[in-house]
C-alpha cells in the first residue's frame, strides 16, 4: 500500500505541500471537501488548492503564513474554516523544518468536517434552553409571591400569607431538586459520581419512599414486599442513591401513568444474587422503539411535565452499583420498569 492509499483510507482529508509551496499530495476526502481533483492538484500552489476562508474573507495561507512565520512555529492549532461550499471544516496543520536554521520543507494540513462540532453546539444550546425553562417556572412563582408579600403585607391575612409562603417553599424545593439532578447528571457524565455503598435494608428504604409519595398525591400507590428472612432483601447500596432511584421511578409512574401505581420488591427469580424492584403504572406504556431513549438526558414523553432527567439518573445510579434497568409492558397496560440490584458487593 503506497502513501496515497494510506491517506485515502483516513477519515479526515489530507493536503501536503513541499518547501516551495507546491502541492504534492491531496487525499480523496480532501479533494471532495475542497472541490478539486486530487491528481490534477499536484504541482499547483497550496493557496489555490486549499481554498479555505474565514468569516473575514482571509484565506488560510494569509492568516497562518506557514512559510514566513517564526522559525519556532511547528504547526497551527485546530481552527474553524469555511469550505468552498460554505460548510465548516476543522483544520489543523504541521510545519516541518529540518532544523531551526533551515527553511520549511513540508506543510501538512488535515481537514475534518465541522458537522460533529455543529451537532455538539446544537446539543449544548438545547441543554441551556431546557435548563433555563425548567429553572424559570419555579423562579417565576417564587418571585411573584415574594413580591406580592412585600407589596401587600399589611393587607394580607395570616392564611393568605401562609399559603403564599407554602407555595414559595414548594417552588424552592423544586429548584433544589432540579439543581441536585443537574449535579448528579454532571457527575455521572464525567465519572465523578461518589458512592458510599454498604449493606442496606431495601424494604425500609422502599417503604419510606412509597409513604412519602402517597402523602403528596391522591393517586393510589400499592406496595408489595416479598416475605422472607431479615437478610433476604438486604442490598449493597449507597442508601441515598438507592432512595433516589426508587423516588424517581415511583414519582415518574405517578406523573405519567393512570390508575394504581404498583411497587413490588423481592428476590429476583432469574438471579438470586439480586433484589428486584418492579414499578408498574396503568398508563399508555412506553413503545418498544422508545425504550432505549427514555434513559437519555432530557427525554420527555407526553405532556405531564418533569425535568426529563429522572430515568437518566436511574440508569446511571443503578449501573454504577452494578445493577440493571429494563422496561416492559405491565399486565394491565402501562409501563413496567424492573430494576435488578446486587445483594452483595461486586468483589464478594
* One domain for residues 173 and 207: no
Asked whether 252 and 340 are in contact (CB, 8 A), the reply is no
pLDDT of 91 > 50? The answer is yes
Asked if residue 300 and residue 168 are part of one domain, the reply reads no
- CA gap 281, 239 in Å, rounded: 24
What is the residue range of 245's domain?
Answer: 198-342
**Within this chain, do residues 90 and 133 fall inside the same structural domain, yes or no?**
no
Q: How far apart are CA 137 and CA 307, in angstroms?
A: 11
Domain count, the chain: 3
Question: Taking 80 as the threshold, does the pLDDT of residue 3 lie above it?
Answer: no
Domain limit, last residue, from 82, 113, 144: 113
Please report whether residue 347 resides in a domain: no
How many C-beta neighbours within 10 Å does residue 273 have? 11
Could you tell me if 225 and 264 lie in one domain? yes
Domain final residue pick, 113, 142, 159:
113
Q: What is the pLDDT of residues 181-198, one digit of tens each?
A: 788 888 887 888 888 999
- Enter the pTM of the model: 0.59
> Are 125 and 56 part of one and the same domain?
no
Q: Summarize the confidence of residues 84-113 as an average pLDDT.
A: 92
Both 235 and 337 in one domain: the answer is: yes
Average pLDDT, the chain: 86
Q: Exposed, middle or buried by CB within 10 Å (0-12, 13-18, 19+), for 236?
A: buried
pLDDT in tens, 293-327: 777 776 666 555 556 778 888 989 999 999 999 98
The three cell numbers of residue 209 are 419512599
Amino acid at each position: 500500500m503506497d502513501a496515497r492509499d494510506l491517506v485515502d483510507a483516513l477519515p479526515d482529508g489530507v493536503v501536503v505541500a513541499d518547501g516551495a509551496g507546491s502541492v504534492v499530495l491531496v487525499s480523496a476526502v480532501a479533494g471532495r471537501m475542497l472541490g478539486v481533483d486530487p491528481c490534477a492538484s499536484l504541482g499547483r500552489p497550496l493557496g489555490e488548492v486549499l481554498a479555505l476562508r474565514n468569516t473575514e474573507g482571509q484565506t488560510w495561507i494569509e492568516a497562518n503564513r506557514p512559510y514566513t512565520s517564526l522559525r519556532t512555529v511547528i504547526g497551527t492549532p485546530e481552527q474553524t474554516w469555511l469550505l468552498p461550499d460554505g460548510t465548516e471544516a476543522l483544520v489543523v496543520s504541521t510545519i516541518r523544518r529540518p532544523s531551526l536554521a533551515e527553511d520549511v520543507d513540508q506543510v501538512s494540513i488535515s481537514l475534518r468536517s465541522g458537522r460533529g462540532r455543529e451537532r455538539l453546539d446544537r446539543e449544548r444550546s438545547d441543554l441551556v434552553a431546557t435548563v433555563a425553562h425548567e429553572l424559570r417556572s419555579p423562579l417565576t412563582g417564587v418571585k411573584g409571591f415574594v413580591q406580592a408579600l412585600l407589596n401587600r403585607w399589611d393587607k394580607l391575612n395570616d392564611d393568605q400569607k401562609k399559603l403564599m409562603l407554602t407555595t414559595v417553599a414548594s417552588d424552592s424545593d423544586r429548584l433544589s431538586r432540579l439543581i441536585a439532578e443537574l449535579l448528579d447528571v454532571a457527575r455521572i457524565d464525567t465519572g465523578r459520581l461518589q458512592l458510599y455503598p454498604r449493606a442496606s435494608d431495601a424494604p425500609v428504604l422502599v417503604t419510606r419512599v412509597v409513604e412519602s409519595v402517597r402523602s403528596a398525591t391522591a393517586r393510589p400507590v400499592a406496595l408489595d414486599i416479598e416475605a422472607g428472612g431479615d437478610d433476604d432483601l438486604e442490598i449493597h447500596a449507597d442508601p441515598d442513591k438507592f432512595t433516589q432511584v426508587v423516588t424517581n421511578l415511583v414519582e415518574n409512574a405517578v406523573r405519567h401513568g393512570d390508575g394504581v401505581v404498583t411497587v413490588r420488591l423481592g428476590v429476583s427469580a432469574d438471579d438470586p444474587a439480586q433484589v428486584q424492584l418492579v414499578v408498574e403504572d396503568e398508563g399508555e406504556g412506553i413503545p418498544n422503539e422508545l425504550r432505549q431513549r427514555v434513559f437519555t438526558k432530557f427525554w420527555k414523553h407526553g405532556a405531564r411535565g418533569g425535568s426529563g432527567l429522572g430515568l437518566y439518573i436511574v440508569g446511571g445510579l443503578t449501573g454504577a452499583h452494578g445493577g440493571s434497568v429494563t422496561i416492559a409492558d405491565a399486565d394491565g397496560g402501562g409501563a413496567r420498569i424492573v430494576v435488578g440490584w446486587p445483594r452483595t458487593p461486586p468483589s464478594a
